[in-house]
Structure 1
Amino acid sequence: MPPRRRPQFTQENIDQQLQQIHLLDPQSSSENLEQLGPIIKQIHQNRQQEAYLRTVQGLIESKDAEIERICDENYQDFISSVSTLFTIKSYTKNLRERITTLDGTVAQVGHGLVEKKRSLLQSKKTAANLDEAIDNLQACLRVLDVVNRVGEMVQEGKYWSALRSLEDIRSMPPTSLSQTPFFQHLLSSLPSLRGQIKDAVTASTKQWLLDIRNVSGQVGEVALEAMDLRVKRWKTRRERDPMLRSTRVGSAVEWVTYEKTEFDALNNDKVTVDFKPLYQCIHIYTALDSLDDLRKSYQADRKAQSDLILPSPLSISALPALLQEISGYFIIETHVLKTTGAFRSERDVEELWDTLTGRLTSAIDDALRTQMDPDELSKVKELLISFAMTMEAYDYNTANMYSFILVLFERYAGLLEKQFKKRFDDILLQDDCTPMQVDNAQQRDTVFDVVWISKPERDELVRAQLPLSLPWSQSFYLCCQSIRTFVERFYQFVDGVSQHHRNIDEVIGKALDSILSAHISENIARRLATTSTLTQIAQMVTNLEHFQVACVEIEATISNIRTAQSSFTSTLTKALARITSLITSKLDDFFELSEYDWTPSTRESAPSVYLYELFNWLTTVLDSLIIKDVYKDESYRGAVNYIASCLMDFLTGRNVAMINENAISNILVDVDFLEEELKGIGRAHLANAFVELRSTTSIILSDAVQDYLVPSTRQTSYITVKPKRLQALLEKLAKFGGSCRDNPSREKGERRRREAEAVSRLFPGESR
């Protein structure tokens, strides 16, 4: 296979291609350098062809001789070939010249192109450097923008985003920028930027702490209001359901009911507390590994705020607002405890609570030290109960609060007792000692709801016709009303106290016992001593009877009032004795009017006139007294005993010097009259008051002194006779006999004297 011939390029071909080259197109913004490649290649090929032609020419010249030989042999052919060769040579020469010209042109053009290429490459290198610089600058700008945004985010409160941006800068992947001094300087400034974020979030938290201090009172206010509403709601339910009477707010039953009502003291219509600043600060400090610093700072700040809550000295008027602020403070602390994990120390909060409540109770105690109004203590107690129940709902230990409330209770009990003692004194002092009147059933039922009376008496009074005169006076009704109020206020004070006072019933019992004894019973006793009107005393007796019944009824629910019962019994005895005393005083007046002749010459058949008046007065007065029949009987007994004593004193006392047997007989006529009158009013049993008088006088009138001297007879027949009185009567008879002028009388008088001496010798130590 013949070798592939190289393509032949004529001068026209080359000129034509050169004419087609347009290195710079005026209508194009880019260079057409790519068109130069084929032309240069063609020129190179032409140069190779020219070299080839030169080689061929050399060969031709070396072969001239051979050619001449050949030409000689082949002259014609040779001439023809030479002609052709000369033509070729001419063409070759022309081509060489053309190539030389073209080479110069190409060299000139190529030089310009090389310069342009060099300039272009330099421009591209500069452009690449510029691009790299731009890229670096843009990277720097992006970093600087991030840093700038960090500042803006700090100002906007986006602290976590700012911190994350710094972390993004620190954790950027390695780039050409990473090795620059700018970037290294930027990295060295990151701790400072973190410090700025830390300072900013700390300042935000400090402001938040100030804000929650200002809003704590509102939080506590809505929490206390919610508890008051809860207490009222439960109280209403307890009143409807007797089975719930013994349960209190906070019990399991009540709590199940309350859980259905959602209430958040930190987020409601009145107040909203945003904990985001604190949470954000905790997050930032945790990321900066500085949470312990924040924890210590927070604890110190809250401790300082708790120290500033309680003013010194404390004004009771400021107590409601103070309790609201304390409640809000610890409600916020509870929320922080529950929502921040281990950030807040539960022990620290408990210590703050114990310290602050301890200072609170001490301050209240000092403020109330001079308080004498029990109502003020009751108001303080209500505030403390509401506060304690509210804080119990947030799991705070309120035992010390309840202990302090019980301390207030004891003080309250003393003040209340003192207040009611004055009230009872006034009631009894102003009593008119007349029966209380009721006009209608409503008034009657109102009174019956207050006083303590037996069921039979109540039933009897209910059946009685209206208007009605009640057995007791106004003072009994008012005292019963005050006693009920007294007891109610006692129990109201401890209502809601979770821990029961160990001696609360004993405290109330002792206080009530003191009031009943010292300020009702003894007041009645003192008034008895200055009252001379029997009807008023009789009313006091009736009141005392009802107070005794009241004591029994009260003791059924409250113990330790036995002293009052014995006091009323004693005062009742004094009242009855006072009636007897007044009656005997009046009887003395009647006896002063008596005109007995103690040595009459004859015996009377009719009683003394003064006894008619005496007994009529006695029955009129005693029967008019509105007291029990048993007390009337005692009054009759006392009066009859006094009459018997007076008559006996006439016979044996020192006021009558001497007496004869006729006077004794007249006395017995009066005794017979009295016994008949007593029998007529149905009180014949009272005649035993005259047994001694009759026995003593029977010894005289029957001359049975010698029988009396016999011990066995004396013990059986004359047991009621007192020897001294018998001796005195015998001496008076002896004195009368000695004063007579007739011998029989004088002898009888002497006998009476000897009998008196005999009686005195038998019983020398026996009193008269």
Structure 2
Amino acid sequence: VRGSAQGLHGQVQDLNDQLQYYGRDLFAKKSELLNLKRVHRNIQMASKVVESCLEVLKMADQVTIDIQKREFYASLRTLNQLKSENLPPMLSYNFARYLYDSLPAIEIQLRDAVFADMREWFFQLRTKSSQMGRHLMESMAQRQEIWATRRQNMKDGDHEGIEYVSTAVEFVLDEEIPQQAPPTLDLHPLYQCLHIHDQLGYRKQFKQSFEEDRRAQANQMIARKFDFKVGSLEGFRNKLYDIIGYFIIEYHILTSTRDFRSKTEVDSLWDAVVGNFSETLAENVQDILGKESILSSIKQLLTTFTYILEDYAYDVRKLKELNYAIRSF
């Protein structure tokens, strides 16, 4: 029995040695596998971080590209996304902090670019506003001629008692008259510039700058004089076209934006322009006394001019008084 027990003990010892031998190998392989899993997990995390970093850098680069392509809305959207979503979780990285700190400079770059684009549009608008004034004058004159003919026909025909037709009725019936389409007034560059300045916190500065520009343009318009010394009405007509175009644009901006153009400011510009226009006309009216054809044309142009701006809710009492005074000559 003792011999059998000793033999069994030896077998157990051998088995234990074998288990320890193979166990050490298995443990080493298990440890190696765990290390590989940790490395793989770290690589995946690093890969995601690198992808996020590349995405952020790509977005920052896209902002600049969109600014250069004048796609300002897209630039603003990307910039806001960077500022509020993509960069904050990555501020533990130096490059992300540097990029985040540079966002105000990029915002200024966007602001300046959209403002320059608006100024270019604004310069082109000056020519278009005069064309718009010409079109409205010609269109209103056409309606006046047609209604003068209609009224005369009413007097000559069997329409006794019809002495007056309201302006509202006239305009309804004017829809039957084929008219040339007016020059389009595209205010998109202004709306775009206003929106971006508003989003970036520069609305007040832009509003003040725009007011100064419009007042400067009004002063330039006031400075352009006209006279009747050579018997020509070209300067007078151009003055009317400029005034109409300028204040039609003001009307559309005032009625299509909120808290941007002040009605008080626009009315102040209107009073200044009309006052100067009246003074200039009074100074030169002596040159046309006795020239009935020119005087009649001026009266008609002034009447048409008054009708147009009255239709856009401007105070035309001074113009009516001026027209009445001229008719007394």
TM-score class, shorter-chain normalisation, is 0.7 to 0.9
CA contact (8 A) 1:238 1:244 kept: no
CA contact (8 A) 2:226 2:239 kept: no
Q: Which deviations, in whole Å up to 9, do the C-alpha atoms of 1:415-459 show, x marking residues without a partner?
A: xxxxxxxxxxxxxxxxxxxxxxxxxxxxxxxxxxxxxxxxxxxxx
* Structure 1 portions without partners, runs of 5+: 1-59, 62-84, 414-768
1:120 aligns with 2:33: yes
Task: Give, in whole Å, the separation in 1 of the partners of 2:78 and 2:292.
Answer: 66
Distance 1:246 1:299, change over 3 A: farther
Aligned to 2:220: 308
Percent same amino acid among aligned pairs?
Answer: 27
CA RMSD of aligned residues (A): 3.0
Of residues 317, 331, 335 in structure 1, which corresponds to 2:234? 317
1:181 aligns with 2:99: no
Q: Report the structure number with the largest CA radius of gyration.
A: 1
Task: Give, in whole Å, the separation in 1 of the partners of 2:117 and 2:79.
Answer: 20
SS at match of 1:395: coil
Aligned to 2:308: 390
Aligned to 1:139: 52
Higher relative contact order (CA 8 A, sep 6+): 2
SS at match of 2:207: helix
SS at match of 1:179: coil
Task: Give, in whole Å, the separation in 2 of the partners of 1:355 and 1:175.
Answer: 52
1:214 aligns with 2:131: no
Would you tell me which structure has more helix in proportion to its own residues? Answer: 2
1:191 aligns with 2:108: no
Superposition deviation, residue 93 in structure 1: 6.7
Aligned to 1:205: 118
Distance 1:192 1:225, change over 3 A: same
SS at match of 1:183: helix
TM-score by length of 2: 0.83
Q: Which amino acid in structure 2 is aligned with residue 376 of structure 1?
A: I
Superposition deviation, residue 330 in structure 1: 0.7
Runs of 4+ in 1 over 6 A off after TM superposition: none
Distance 1:225 1:313, change over 3 A: closer
CA contact (8 A) 2:130 2:242 kept: yes
Superposition deviation, residue 89 in structure 1: 5.4
1:405 aligns with 2:310: no
Superposition deviation, residue 140 in structure 1: 1.4
Aligned to 2:66: 153
SS at match of 2:287: coil
Of residues 18, 21, 31 in structure 2, which corresponds to 1:102? 18
Distance 1:176 1:309, change over 3 A: closer
SS at match of 1:272: coil
Distance 1:93 1:110, change over 3 A: closer
* Structure 2 portions without partners, runs of 5+: 228-232
Distance 1:392 1:168, change over 3 A: same
1:340 aligns with 2:252: no
Superposition deviation, residue 110 in structure 1: 4.5
Q: Which deviations, in whole Å up to 9, do the C-alpha atoms of 1:289-326 show, x marking residues without a partner?
A: 33222221111111111122245442442222221121
Task: Give, in whole Å, the separation in 2 of the partners of 1:139 and 1:244.
Answer: 83
Superposition deviation, residue 185 in structure 1: 2.4
Q: Which amino acid in structure 2 is aligned with residue 377 of structure 1?
A: L
Task: Give, in whole Å, the separation in 2 of the partners of 1:181 and 1:260.
Answer: 71
Distance 1:175 1:381, change over 3 A: closer
CA contact (8 A) 2:129 2:246 kept: yes
Superposition deviation, residue 151 in structure 1: 2.2
Task: Give, in whole Å, the separation in 2 of the partners of 1:321 and 1:244.
Answer: 40
Aligned to 1:287: 199
Distance 1:320 1:244, change over 3 A: farther
Q: Which amino acid in structure 2 is aligned with residue 300 of structure 1?
A: E
Task: Give, in whole Å, the separation in 2 of the partners of 1:358 and 1:314.
Answer: 14
SS at match of 1:370: helix
Aligned to 2:184: 272
CA contact (8 A) 1:282 1:291 kept: yes
Aligned to 2:246: 329
